[in-house]
Amino acid sequence: MSRSLTVIACMDRYALCSNSIRIRSFSDPKVAIRVIVGIILLWPIATVFLPISYVYHQGSCGMDPSFSLSWAIYSVIVPGLLTPGLMIVFGGLAISNRREL
């Protein structure tokens, strides 16, 4: 959840520094509160399947092998590549827009 909120904060800074009135309107506090509440409600729902993916086999509990590969791919792409990538893109766009002002 914290990574999502950090990416949203970078997007908000980009929107705040934009020359476009339409994009700048996304930096409104009302929009920010709605997005934050949405993220807080979405993440618990998105992770509800995790307990279902565990199986008990021969005295130990572990992740189902068919699910573990998809979880490993998700764990590399989303927190490792997508989150920093979005932060770099929106941070760079915010810096670029700020220099134009």
pLDDT digit of tens for each residue in the chain (101 aa)? 889 999 999 999 999 999 999 999 999 999 999 999 999 999 999 888 888 888 887 888 888 888 888 888 988 998 999 999 999 999 999 999 888 87
Q: Are 79 and 2 in contact (CB under 8 A)?
A: no
Q: Which residue bears the tokens 């993220």?
A: 39
Count of domains forming the chain? 1
Domain of residue 20, residue span = 2-100
- Confidence at residue 31, expressed as pLDDT on a 0 to 100 scale: 94
Residue 44 and residue 24: Cα distance in Å, rounded?
Answer: 30
- Confidence at residue 58, expressed as pLDDT on a 0 to 100 scale: 83
